[in-house]
Structure formats: C-alpha cells, structure tokens
Amino acid sequence: MSEEILMEDILRANEEIAALNRSLLDGSRTFAVNLMSSPGAGKTSLILETIKRLGGRVKIGVIEGDVASDLDARKVGECGVPVHQINTKGDCHLDARMLNAALRTFPLSQISLLLIENVGNLICPAEFKLGEHRKVLVSSVPEGDDKPYKYPLMFSEVDVVVLNKIDLLPYMDFDFERFRRGVEGLNSRAKIFKVSCRTGEGMEAWIDWILGELEGFERELERKGEGGG
C-alpha cells in the first residue's frame, strides 16, 4: 500500500469519528471551537482572556492538547472551568479519536462553549477534523507577516484568524496589509481579528464573534430539532 493511499485511509477513518463527535456535541448543545497555532502564538492566553470576559454569561469547558505535560490545563483549571488534558505522546496534532475519548468523559451537558486547544503546529492539525463547529487560527506579530504564504493549507482551512500580540506592532517589522492580503488570497471567508491578550485591545470584537456564533448555533439546533429537552 502506497503512503498516499494509507494517508487517505487514515483521514477517512478520522472523518468518520469526527462525524460522531459532531453528533455528540450537537446532542449536548455544545458549540466547539478548535484553536490552532504555532507554539507560543497565544492560544492559551486567548482561552484565558475569553473565560475572563465571558465570565458567568457562558458555560465554558476546555480541552487541552499537548505533546506532554499539563501546564496549560492547570492554568485553565485555576479559572474554575472544566478542563481535560490530552497528551499526544509525540503526535503533532489532535485527531478525532483522541477527542472522542475526551468527550465521553466530559460534562458536555453542562457546557455551552467548548474551546479545544490543539497541539502547537501549523501543518498537521489542518488535515485532521475533530468534529468541531469552527476552526480558529491564532497567529502572532513576532512570527512575521509571511505565515499565510508559508503555510497555505492551515490558513485556507480556518473560519477565523486571530492576530495576537498587536501591542508589539510598533516594535516589529510586521506589515499587516501584507498579512491580510495573504489570508484573503487563500481564504476570502475568514474573519481577521487583531488582538492583544496582554492589553485587552481588540478582545471585544472576538468576544462578540463568539457570542454571535453561539446564538447562531442555538438557532440552527432549534431549526433542526436537535438537542431538545
């Protein structure tokens, strides 16, 4: 069996489990967001700020994906929200099977918004569906404005690009218009949010997007008659 055919089989099997995950999430009325980035771009910081700003308005749960350790999960746990750690033990991404095992031990019925922090990598996570409702890519100013050009698959797959650490723009050689053109050339539907998790700048727009997506999700479930009761 060729390597290409083997990969196709792996992805097909993954998509079947991803469909099961989506059914579990819809049945529990839980909206799931898959957060992806390179290491250090600020996924955990974005999650922490989101929890802080949504406070008691939305019931949030977090699944942390890392190659090793539970450092980020412990940080999130201090916010008082349910958190589950997945260690991939070398794999450079989460897959649907890993998420399925986590979902079956997670209190989904008590969670409206599930934030999934994928393993820090700009290649592998783009190919593996989890059953999430939205994909978000967190990029950052220190990484440079060329990332859409170097990692086209990741940028073409996501619903949202969050450009983090914009408080560093005055100190970095970062051309936002070049970055924006790169994103839009690959993915015209992707929304771009400029934020600083350190200063809070731009976070309102991100939070408004989350709340709008949650409302739309609820309307869609009502239309389909899903998750009643």
Q: What is the pLDDT of residues 101-140, one digit of tens each?
A: 999 999 999 999 999 999 999 999 999 999 999 999 999 9
Which of these, 119, 134, 113, lies nearest to 66 by C-alpha position? Answer: 119
Q: Tell whether pTM > 0.85.
A: yes
Structural domain spans, the chain: 8-224
Element (H, E) at 75: helix 71-77
Spatial CB neighbours of 159, under 8 Å, sequence gap ≥ 6: 134, 135, 136, 189, 190, 191
Q: Is the pLDDT assigned to residue 3 strictly greater than 80? A: no
Q: What pLDDT, in 10s, does the model give residues 169-205? A: 999 999 999 999 999 999 999 999 999 999 999 999 9
Q: Selecting from 3.90.320.10, 3.40.50.2300, 2.60.40.10, 3.40.50.300, what CATH number does the domain 8-224 have?
A: 3.40.50.300
Residue 79 pLDDT level (bands cut at 50, 70, 90)? very high
